[in-house]
């Protein structure tokens, strides 16, 4: 394993009611989080290949953990999103390196398919800025007006100054109540 993993966190959230209406079956979403050591924290480097490789490694691992936590077949995932928080000694470019070049292919493999683009968000680790909005891949869907899904809780433990947090979100439905389109998965 290339990543120096400090901790893995997997959470499942179920929505049984939205806007005063019952949701049946409940909407479920899993988030898998890896808090890792940032090999470039506190230093400048022209080459971020180690983070690119870690992104590739963790894309598959976290995608698989989400699928397992939801208890679904990989093709049942409705969409996905990714995000990273870089500790204070890191740079936003470190988040970009772990998120963009190679994370997508193993994640798409973990969910059996998907569009070429995996929407993302990134932040530098001020401790007050730990809530992220995941942009969801609506190219996997058709007739869907919902394009983002907030992760409403902060990390149990924010990444330390020399750490980086990578997060993947995988919902069983894009919206608990579909008012603006039926959000069926594209074939």
Q: What does each C-alpha distance from 132 to 31, 45, 143, 168 come to in angstroms?
A: 12, 27, 25, 11
Per-residue pLDDT of the chain (187 residues; tens, 9 = 90+): 588 999 999 999 898 988 888 888 888 889 899 999 999 999 999 999 999 999 999 999 999 999 999 999 988 887 788 888 898 899 999 999 999 889 888 888 888 866 656 667 777 775 544 455 555 555 554 445 444 555 554 566 667 888 888 888 777 776 665 544 555 544 4
Q: Give residue 185's pLDDT.
A: 47
Any idea what the CATH number is for the domain that residue 93 is in? 3.30.1330.110
Number of domains the chain is built from: 1
Cα–Cα distance, 98 to 85 (Å, whole number): 11
For residue 16, the enclosing domain spans 5-185
Give the length of the chain.
Answer: 187
pLDDT at 37: 93
CA-based Rg of the chain, rounded to a whole angstrom? 16
pTM value is 0.81
pLDDT of amino acid 56: 94
* Residue 97, both tokens: 């390196």
- Cα dist from 150 to 31, 155, 181, whole Å: 11, 13, 19
Q: Looking at residue 46, what is its pLDDT?
A: 94
């Amino acid at each position: 394993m290339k990543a120096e993993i400090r901790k893995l966190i997997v959470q499942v959230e179920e929505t049984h009611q939205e806007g005063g209406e019952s949701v049946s079956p409940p909407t479920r979403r899993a988030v898998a989080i890896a808090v890792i050591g940032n090999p470039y924290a506190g230093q400048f480097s022209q080459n971020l290949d180690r983070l690119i490789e870690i992104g590739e490694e963790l894309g598959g691992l976290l995608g698989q953990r989400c699928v397992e936590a939801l208890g679904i077949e990989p093709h049942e995932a409705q969409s996905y999103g990714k995000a990273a928080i870089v500790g204070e000694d890191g740079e936003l470019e470190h988040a970009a390196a772990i998120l963009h070049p190679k994370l997508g292919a193993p994640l798409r493999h973990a969910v059996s398919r998907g569009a070429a683009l995996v929407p993302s968000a990134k932040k530098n680790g001020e401790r007050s800025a730990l809530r992220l909005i995941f942009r969801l891949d609506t190219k996997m869907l058709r007739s869907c007006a919902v394009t983002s899904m907030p992760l409403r809780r902060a990390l149990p433990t924010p990444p330390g100054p020399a750490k980086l947090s990578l997060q993947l979100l995988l919902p069983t439905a894009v919206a608990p109540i579909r008012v603006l389109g039926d959000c069926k998965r594209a074939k």
